[in-house]
Structure 1
Amino acid sequence: MRLPASGAGGHQPGHDIWVTVESISLCFVLCLVLVTLIFRGTRLCRDISAKGDAGRAAFVLTVAGLTAWRVTMNVRTVLNVDSIGRKVFYGNLLPAYAQLADAGLRPAVGALSLLPLFSSARKSLLQVVALAGCMFVFFLSAGALEFNAFAPKDEELTHYSTALNGGSLVPACWLNRAFLTVLTRFKLERLGWRLTGSGACAGWILWVFLRTHRNLARAPKNLHTGLTGRLLSEYAEAYSTVGGFLLTPMGTLLFWALLGVVTAVNASVLLYEAVMKKKLLQEKGISIKEEAEDIEKLKTKNAEDLTDAEKTKIDMEAAREAARKKDAELRQQASWSVNMLFFGAAVTIADVIYMATLEQFATEIGQRMPPAVFLTVDNMLVLTSLLVIGGLLGETNALEELEVLKEMQHMGRSHGQRIAFPGKVNPKSKHCIVSFPGKYAPEWDAAVRMVEVRAGTCSLACVFLTDRENGLGLHKDNPEQPGQCWCKALYPPGQFSPANYMMIVEDPTALSAEDLRFKETDAKAMGQIFLKREAGQDDVQWAEEKGKAEAAAQKKCKENGGCAPWGCQWFHEWKQNVDKAALLGQTLHVFYFNGRVGRGKLSWEELSNETAVKEARRYGGLGASQTAEVAYLERCSYSYEEHDTIEFYKFMASPTEALNQKPGINGDVLP
């Protein structure tokens, strides 16, 4: 069956070459999409336990098979179009005259293959939507189709021949953006703009609804053929008032203004997030650079002139520098993710400008350009937008873009303030960090950030309390010693004197405003007397103020029974986390000071021995709270692995790999 001659509104001479170019171009584009789908789909299915093999196989085989089928169909059509005696073109919404299996069954099977992805431990709903969107575009306008036995009657062909005009493909182009709109909504939600994203998505749906009324009002009635056409005509007559208003100058202005607002909202959020995260990266880079410059100044001093604190600072910086080299994931992908946000904002604006131009001048453009150009350009734009906004571009073994963005958001929230952390036990993890030296602040911050943000990461039993609301300065009863809190078991008798209930700052200028603020808030939470030497205060005045503070501290110490001013609530919460991790069968891990693995351990009974505690602290590799934590592990006969803090980033990237590279079991395994 052939179309009528071009004079009757049928096939236009010269379009065959464009169909050939379009088919070949789309074959190339879809092959690129195929590679992305296979690699990213496999990545998302990788961590599925029960359905892993089935889900991965279904996804890869389905996409590969459908691509092979589509490419074969395109090539066959291009090579045999004349011998077959049929012409090729696209319909308004789906490839024209597609059989039911082509237009419905195969897309349904492809969609079902995505279902196992939702049970993945590392699933990203944003990426699943992006993958589904790519497949949607794939089936909506993936290549050339032939006429088949289900073609309309000859008298109706004149109406369908308008599909050879590129302008008639505008509805299909807008339909291609349905998944893109949903994807952008999910993207904004993951960035913390849930209501904004939902509002923009609703605005787009409203705009499409109004566009339908507008087009029905201006469409010639003789083009509404068949049952669907008659229904559209009746609907257009029933709501002609709305469509008529949208064709007026004021209606047209409001119509395009709505689309502009929706686009501006989506693009501005992406742009704002990109600018703020780029600024955060720059601030972090400046902070690291200034810290490195301070260390270099210390290194220029003679070793014998360095204080113990300065030597410790140099050692810690050496460990951090080595550790930073191992934290390549976040540092490498952070800049990439920021650039993708900028790119996402750009393609959002560019895509709408392109579609608005196409909508407004479709007839004029369609007279000069065939549908092949429209479909090729349109598919490239929408697929690029899906891949960029969906975070599907980049290294396949890198962090997911959403995880990077969430970590950057966490960095932004914690910048300039301390965030309380009650510990987190991940039931799906096989590893748990149960003790970590708090003096390695950057590593601790990274541990909290990764555990709270990254899916499938290890558990972290350690707790960090910042004020009385979350437990700082509070005490918890020891069930083994009724009437006593945990302080008696954790610390030697008489260890805490009135001096421990004072927070004195002799030289405020030596501290940053942030550190000074932290000291003051800590003192308030722990019930300590905070005293800061004011500018211009002479020695006599300062001594008098200190005397008053000492008297007040002595009173507070007595009222608190000589217990730790920071309380023992932290130990109770930590103990609960450790017991839960052990019950789940997770491997426990303890981190030590750089170069001091295994040093400074005490038994539970030795914690109350002041001499033993001082000796352990002198050459040990554990902090004050860590000494009690490790003693509890040994008391409960919990086996654990020991690590140098320098191994931290490597461990967080892959606990199992870091463990396998150790020369042997490096912890105490008790019977």
Structure 2
Amino acid sequence: MAWLPQEDREFLKASAGLGNFQKAEVAWLDRKRYKYTDVDVSTWLFDRGSAKQIAFEGAVVDERGKPCICSWPGKYGSAWDCMVQAAEGGKISAAVVFLPKGTTEFGKHAEIPPQEKLEGDCWCIPLYGEQKPWGCRWWSRWIANIEEAHRFGAEFQVYFFENMKGKGKVRSFETAGKEHLRREEICNRMEKFRETDVYKNVAASLSNLSRDPCADGSSPYSRRVDQEFMSWLPPEDREFLEASEGLGNSQKAEVAWLDRKGYKFTPKDVSEWLGVKAL
């Protein structure tokens, strides 16, 4: 771009924002006078959530001392599928639970037993700081699996993000909900960031980066946008999010619960599963 004549350089910069076919599509809508809403593609790229699709209620193997997967980072969708297939085939023991939309218990809640002495009408409160649309019935299932595995003397295993083993834990189970709310509030500022000149300049210069998702659901484009967003944040908030990397949102509560119960676990790197093919 730098060596191009200024007129050509300005023309290419002004063209950034739509693909070649898109330019004709949008021009046609304008020609037909069909109204449409402008939407930034990063609304899909930053909110990557869980990519896993296979519902799973756990499969704990009754074998003394057998390793048991008790926490899994949901954004590694294909690796999750492989792990679930291995667990359902009896090859491994797994206490993890995923009840996605479409399952009978999605959106349902579970009361906190009085003996736990925790605040909240349901488990959503200590987990997320507020009730969530997906509910917390999965949590009561997970606890039951954990207790079953503990009775069997299982070796608990927690899988962390790739190359981030041991990182991303919350201070305690009692602070998990408040910390979750703070992460959400900070991440929701992405909308405000998209309105800044910083973001607009970056977006225009990154049009050639791939949007194809990697194993963790991110892409070269989304990772660069995330980096710019993190740089834009105040240092205190940026450091908080950086310290949170390593475990998924629900995982943070799972690991904090294991610590609360005094259950030891072996930290594992999810990269051990990234090269595994589905059965």
Partner residue in 2 for 1:471: 105
SS in 2 for 1:572: helix
Larger Rg: 1
Relative to structure 1, is the Cα distance of residues 418 and 644 closer, same or farther in structure 2, using a 3 angstrom cutoff? Answer: closer
Superposed, 1:106-117 pairs within 5 Å as none
Aligned mates of 1:636, 1:651 — CA distance in 2 = 32
Mapping for residues 110-129 of structure 1, pairs under 5 Å: none
Counterpart in the other structure of 1:424: 59
How many Å apart are 1:435 and its aligned residue? 0.5
Distance 2:93 2:241 in 1: 27
Query: Which of 219, 238, 250 in structure 2 is aligned with 1:625?
Result: 250
* TM-superposed deviation, 1:450: 0.8
Q: Secondary structure at the match of 1:488?
A: helix
**C-alpha deviation, 1:588, in angstroms:** 0.3
Q: Is the 8 A contact 1:423 1:577 kept in 2?
A: yes
1:445 maps to: 81
DSSP-derived class of the 1:609 partner: helix
Partner residue, 1:487: 124
Instruction: Find the partner of 1:641 among 238, 257, 266.
Output: 266
| Equivalent residues in 2 for 1:527-546, closer than 5 Å | none
CA distance in 2: counterparts of 1:565 and 1:310, whole angstroms: 21
2:206 aligned with 1:570, yes or no? no
- Alpha-carbon separation, structure 2, partners of 1:610 and 1:649: 29
Amino acid at match of 1:461: A
Query: Is the Cα–Cα contact under 8 Å of residues 592 and 621 in structure 1 kept in the other structure?
Result: yes
Q: Check 1:613–1:604 CA distance in 2 against 1; reply closer, same or farther (3 A cut).
A: farther
Give the match's secondary structure for 1:433: strand
Quick one: distance in 1 between partners of 2:113 and 2:68? 25
Q: Which runs of 5+ in 1 are unaligned?
A: 1-306, 314-416, 494-562, 653-671
Q: Distance in 1 between matches of 2:178 and 2:119?
A: 21
Task: Give the drift of 1:425.
Answer: 0.4
Aligned residue number for residue 159 of structure 1: none
1:641 alignment partner, SS class: strand
Superposed CA deviations along residues 542-588 of structure 1, whole A, max 9, x for unmatched, are xxxxxxxxxxxxxxxxxxxxx11110011111111111111110000
**Distance in 2 of aligned mates of 1:418 and 1:608:** 25
> In proportion to residue count, which structure has more helix?
1
For 1:653-668, list aligned pairs within 5 A.
none
Structure 1 window deviating more from structure 2 (436-445 vs 641-650): it is 641-650
Structure 1 Cα separation of the partners of residues 100 and 81 of structure 2: 14
User: Relative to structure 1, is the Cα distance of residues 613 and 643 closer, same or farther in structure 2, using a 3 angstrom cutoff?
Assistant: farther
Query: Kindly tell me: are residues 428 and 487 of structure 1, through their superposed partners in 2, closer, same or farther at Cα, counting changes over 3 Å?
Result: same
Contact 2:129 2:181 in 1 (8 A): no
Give the Cα separation in 2 of the matches to 1:485 and 1:612: 16
Instruction: Select which of 156, 170, 173 maps to 1:588.
Output: 156
**2:35 match:** none
Q: Deviations over 1:296-353 (max 9, x none)?
A: xxxxxxxxxxx8x97999xxxxxxxxxxxxxxxxxxxxxxxxxxxxxxxxxxxxxxxx
After TM superposition, give the deviation of residue 624 of structure 1 in Å.
0.8
Contact 2:119 2:125 in 1 (8 A): no
Q: 1:634 to 1:651 in 2, by over 3 A?
A: farther
Shift of 1:464: 1.3
Cα RMSD of the aligned pairs, angstroms, is: 3.2
Gaps of 5+ in 2: 1-41, 184-238
Kept in 2, the 8 Å contact 1:476–1:485? The answer is: yes
Change (3 A) 1:613 1:632: farther
**Paired amino acid for 1:486:** W
1:608 to 177, 180, 184: 177
The answer as to 2:83 corresponding to 1:433 is: no
Distance across 2 between alignment mates of 1:468 and 1:611: 25
Cα distance between partner residues in 2 of 1:597 and 1:633: 16
Code of the aligned partner of 1:582: H
Task: Rate the CA distance shift 1:580–1:418 in 2: closer, same or farther, 3 A.
Answer: same
For the residue of structure 2 that corresponds to 1:465, the secondary structure is: coil
TM-score (norm 2): 0.54
For the structure 1 residues 460 and 617, does the alpha-carbon distance in structure 2 shift closer, same or farther, using more than 3 Å as the test? farther
Q: Determine the structure 1 residue equivalent to 2:187.
A: none
Deviation at 1:613, TM superposition (A): 5.3
Give yes or no for contact 2:99–2:105 (8 Å, CA) kept in 1: yes
1:612 to 1:637, Cα distance in 2 relative to 1, 3 A: farther
Change (3 A) 1:471 1:611: closer
Q: How do 1:256-655 and structure 2 match up within 5 A?
A: 418-428=53-63, 430-453=66-89, 455=90, 457-467=91-101, 469-480=103-114, 484-492=121-129, 563-602=131-170, 603-610=172-179, 614=183, 617-619=241-243, 620-648=245-273
Would the aligned equivalents of 1:475 and 1:568 in 2 still touch at CA under 8 Å? yes
Q: Residues of 1 paired with 2:148 and 2:102: CA distance? A: 25
Q: CA deviation at 1:458?
A: 2.2
- Select the structure with the greater relative contact order (CA < 8 A; seq sep ≥ 6): 2
Give, as a single letter, the amino acid of the residue that structure 1 aligns with 2:62.
P
Counterparts of residues 73-152 of structure 1 (less than 5 Å):
none
Post-superposition Cα deviations, 1:69-92, rounded to whole Å, max 9, x if no partner, equal xxxxxxxxxxxxxxxxxxxxxxxx
Letter in 1 for 2:78: P
Cα pair 1:475 1:567 within 8 Å, conserved: yes
Question: Which residue matches 2:206?
Answer: none
Task: Report sequence identity in percent.
Answer: 37
Shift, 1:595, TM fit: 1.5
Please state how far the C-alpha of 1:601 moved relative to its aligned partner.
Answer: 0.5
Q: How far apart are 1:419 and its partner, in Å?
A: 3.6
Q: Distance in 2 between matches of 1:646 and 1:444?
A: 12
Partner-residue secondary structure (3-state), 1:485:
coil
| 4+ residue runs over 3 A deviation | 309-313, 467-470, 610-613, 615-619, 649-652
Q: Deviations over 1:125-157 (max 9, x none)?
A: xxxxxxxxxxxxxxxxxxxxxxxxxxxxxxxxx
The number of equivalent residue pairs is 172
